[in-house]
Amino acid sequence: MSEDGPAEWAAPPEYLVEIGTEPLDRPARNSVGGWPCFDDDQEWPRCFCGDRMALFFQLDLPDDIEFFGGEHLSVFHCAHHNDASDPVTADGRLVPRFWEAPQPPFPGSFWRVLLQRDPGIPEAEPEPAVRALPLSLRPFVDAHGPFGMHFKVGGTAAWAQYPERYWCACGAELAFVCQVPAYREFGVRPGAPVQPYGLRDDAYMLFLGNEVYLLACPKRCDPAAVLPVNQR
């Protein structure tokens, strides 16, 4: 036994995601909506319907986030298609390119989450539907432990039901990176397409308003190897 007593368990760093109220009028790396940043070989994701998916938010993960520190996280979801995500597995693993697997009843995928290492300059045009707002990260220690439902990155998932575990097609167990609380609304511009099953005409929600857990491949086998898991 060491003289310092038993080793203390250090909580993994976590950050609260905070959304500003002043509309964003220029590109920013951390934003709701806004001007997406892509790696050179990465294009604006398209839904199976052919339309570009809407950028809900993007942010640079702080360097001390386990596995994914320094990566750029961006969350896309089609404005015309809305459902809970449906992880597609075979033999205990997610199928190869699981982010493109059909999401019944749809013949393809309506969401894409990217973790990019070094995205370059922002796109010239902003996300057209979701209103651009500044986003910032604040270190925090959750007083409610695993029961606090926060919009956050890092730390551990606060599961609404039983914890879920998934293995990437590459063999690695997915690791938690971000949680978006249920019924979190993202304001949209006047004239934006009305989201099916939405609660309001002036806001979108992710995955029918379910609690959203983003789990990603710690081996970084592909920028799109990020699985949204839904619970409510």
Contact residues for Zn ion (CB under 5 A)? 47, 49, 78, 80-81, 110, 168, 170, 172, 217, 219, 221, 225
Q: How far is the CB of 89 from Zn ion (least distance, A)?
A: 13
Q: How far is the CB of 218 from Zn ion (least distance, A)?
A: 8
Q: How far is the CB of 122 from Zn ion (least distance, A)?
A: 23
Query: Among candidates 231, 232, 89, which has minimal Cα distance to 174?
Result: 89
Nearest residue (CB) to Zn ion, 189 versus 219:
219
Nearest residue (CB) to Zn ion, 101 versus 149:
101
Q: How far is the CB of 22 from Zn ion (least distance, A)?
A: 30
Nearest residue (CB) to Zn ion, 78 versus 114:
78
Q: How far is the CB of 57 from Zn ion (least distance, A)?
A: 19
Nearest residue (CB) to Zn ion, 19 versus 95:
95
Nearest residue (CB) to Zn ion, 78 versus 130:
78
